[in-house]
């Protein structure tokens, strides 16, 4: 299937102000805005990643982090092939929140969902760090999920995060298609959104 395009729904989850929208905007548009309005409900964007033999097109749902929107999350992660759970490396509470999102995804999400944990704001000085790399890495290994430290501000590891997820996806999609005899197709219309 050389050169084929595969479509995958990807959802971003995490507490408010951890940088979910910043990561998506950096990945999709290669832009960074220091101050962004909180996401209301969810924003929808698309972006592709070129792998050796195929193109992976992500249909990205960037969900709101505020507690009042939490009950809407299942609507967005239902049917998602991948999820990025984001936390702020300078905020231990957001790390605990991320672990609760991972647990929820494992319990209620798609059984084959590829989960990546992203420790964001890696550009901050080491003195502000509240979550050590080793701790998050060990948690990720225990739960068989990806872990990367990212910075939407300086673009560190942002594209790599999506590439690593993309590498884990195509094999599963091909396997699912063979088992279920269907192809995942993109939504008919792309909605415009701002961060």
pLDDT in tens, 67-96: 666 777 888 888 999 999 999 999 999 999
pLDDT at 64: 78
Strands 114-120 and 146-149: parallel
Which residues does the chain have with pLDDT short of 70?
1-3, 35-42, 65, 67-69, 170-195
Domain annotation covers residue 27: yes
pLDDT at 194: 40
pLDDT at 15: 93
Nearest-angstrom CA–CA distance, 70 and 90: 22
pLDDT at 42: 66
Domain annotation covers residue 192: no
Tokens 């050169």 sit at which residue?
3
Q: For the chain, what's the residue count?
A: 195
Q: Are 91 and 122 in contact (CB under 8 A)?
A: no
Domain annotation covers residue 186: no
pLDDT at 69: 63
Structural domains counted in the chain? 1
DSSP 162-176: HHHHHHHHHHHHHHH
Domain annotation covers residue 147: yes
Nearest-angstrom CA–CA distance, 20 and 52: 27
Domain annotation covers residue 126: yes
Domain annotation covers residue 194: no
**What is the pTM assigned to this prediction?**
0.83
Q: 31 burial class (0-12, 13-18, 19+ CB within 10 angstroms)?
A: exposed
pLDDT at 36: 64
pLDDT at 181: 45
CATH assignment at residue 52: 3.40.50.300
Tokens 């960074």 sit at which residue?
32
Domain annotation covers residue 131: yes
Nearest-angstrom CA–CA distance, 177 and 111: 15
Range of the domain at 103: 4-180
């Amino acid at each position: 299937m050389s050169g084929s395009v595969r479509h995958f729904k990807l959802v971003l989850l995490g507490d408010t102000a951890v940088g979910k929208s910043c990561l998506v905007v950096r990945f999709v548009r290669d832009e960074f805005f220091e101050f962004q309005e909180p996401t209301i409900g969810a924003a929808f964007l698309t972006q592709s990643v070129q792998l050796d033999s195929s193109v992976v097109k992500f249909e990205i749902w960037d969900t709101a982090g505020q507690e009042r929107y939490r009950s809407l999350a299942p609507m967005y992660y239902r049917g998602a092939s991948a999820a990025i759970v984001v936390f702020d490396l300078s905020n231990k509470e957001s790390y605990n929140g991320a672990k609760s999102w991972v647990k929820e995804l494992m319990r209620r999400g798609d059984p084959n969902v590829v989960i990546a944990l992203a420790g964001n704001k890696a550009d901050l000085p080491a003195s502000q760090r509240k979550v050590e790399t080793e701790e998050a890495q060990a948690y990720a290994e225990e739960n068989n999920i990806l872990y990367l430290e990212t910075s939407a501000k300086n673009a560190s590891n942002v594209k790599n995060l999506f590439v690593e997820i993309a590498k884990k996806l195509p094999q599963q999609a091909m396997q699912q298609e063979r088992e279920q005899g269907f192809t995942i197709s993109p939504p008919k219309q792309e909605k415009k959104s701002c961060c």
